A and B are shown apart, each in its own frame.
Chain A
């Protein structure tokens, strides 16, 4: 029985929606039932209740529990509302995930030399488009090569239009490692921007020494 009431709770989305319904239920019985009376029942002032009902004020967990109890909510229902009140906004969560993803991409480019080494070796005479050969030349595992290769393809820094033709999109002619990093980070910012995520300039020296990207505000 409590499981079905939980489902009802989940369908109401927000505690303040339920609170608003409780006030209306009382007004249906007594049209003169005031917000002040409702607030007194909850043990608070009418201004606080008004702000909560208008969405101007969040309900702290302790207050939600107290009001829920005073209005006869079952413990499980209170717990469900507490959980729902503290679920992060879906849009914010998505943005945070995107930021984490692009930060991880940039960090990987900066800290793992395999990316630069693949770019460098792919332009050298005698290059073999064979990840096992590349791994042997670079002294890393095939999986390391493939993780880096995937990232280079995702970031459009490398393109394989024909099996033996690996085209690099990093500057003109032979580029240094520093130039590669610069181009790569610009590409990360461009692709992040295409996804609606704005990244600032990066302090490259600090990034290479730390485990997080210190994005500099523009």
Chain B
């Protein structure tokens, strides 16, 4: 029940350096051995949520996105747009069974929704 925040994502212009920094600081393990080459972060704790690092385009600043778990990504995107959200990445099926979409809320802040399995 509910719509939990499932994952954080650091969008970084220097993803390798970002991975190194947080690994050194917090002892997080970063693994990119997956079909997307996505830097998956394991915080080493069952508390909180896990995350990942994605490379930022040159014109963007570094920022953090939160991905909320939903039952139906398409329906959520439609609802969000009715509420004034702007679609940035349309619903996309990633290898491994994850479906996600990225939007800007009406105030321009980036957020994601995802469905696993």
**Which residues on A are within 8 Å of B, measured CB to CB?**
100-101, 104-105, 108, 129-132, 135, 142-143, 145-147, 150-151, 153-154, 156, 159-163, 195
* B59 and A153 contact, CB distance less than 8 A: no
Closest beta carbon of chain A to B38's beta carbon, Å: 8
Counting chain B residues whose Cβ lies within 8 A of the other chain, the interface size class is 20 to 34
Which residues of chain B come closer than 8 Å to A108, judged between CB atoms? 57-58
Closest chain B residue to A94, Cβ basis: B108
* A142 and B32 contact, CB distance less than 8 A: yes
**Which residues on B are within 8 Å of A, measured CB to CB?**
15-16, 32, 35-38, 54-59, 86, 88-97
What's the count of A-B pairs with C-beta under 8 Å?
Answer: 59
Which residues of chain A come closer than 8 Å to B36, judged between CB atoms? 131, 146
Closest chain B residue to A147, Cβ basis: B55
CA distance A153 to B92 in the complex (A): 8
* B57 and A151 contact, CB distance less than 8 A: yes
* B59 and A104 contact, CB distance less than 8 A: yes
Q: Classify the secondary structure of A's interface with B.
A: helix
Which residues of chain B come closer than 8 Å to A159, judged between CB atoms? 90, 92
* A101 and B59 contact, CB distance less than 8 A: yes
Closest beta carbon of chain A to B45's beta carbon, Å: 27
Closest beta carbon of chain A to B88's beta carbon, Å: 6
User: Which of A145, A161, A162, A163 has the most chain B CB within a 10 Å cutoff?
Assistant: A163
CA distance A189 to B92 in the complex (A): 23
Which residues of chain B come closer than 8 Å to A130, judged between CB atoms? 35, 95
Which residues of chain A come closer than 8 Å to B88, judged between CB atoms? 154
Which residues of chain A come closer than 8 Å to B35, judged between CB atoms? 129-132
* B96 and A163 contact, CB distance less than 8 A: yes
Closest chain A residue to B88, Cβ basis: A154
Closest beta carbon of chain B to A158's beta carbon, Å: 9
CA distance A168 to B39 in the complex (A): 26
CA distance A147 to B92 in the complex (A): 15
Q: Give 17 A-B pairs besides A104-B57, A142-B37, A143-B16 with Cβ atoms closer than 8 angstroms.
A: A104-B58, A108-B58, A131-B36, A132-B35, A132-B37, A142-B32, A146-B54, A146-B55, A147-B56, A151-B57, A153-B90, A154-B88, A156-B90, A159-B92, A160-B93, A160-B94, A163-B94
Which residues of chain B come closer than 8 Å to A105, judged between CB atoms? 57, 59
Which residues of chain B come closer than 8 Å to A151, judged between CB atoms? 57
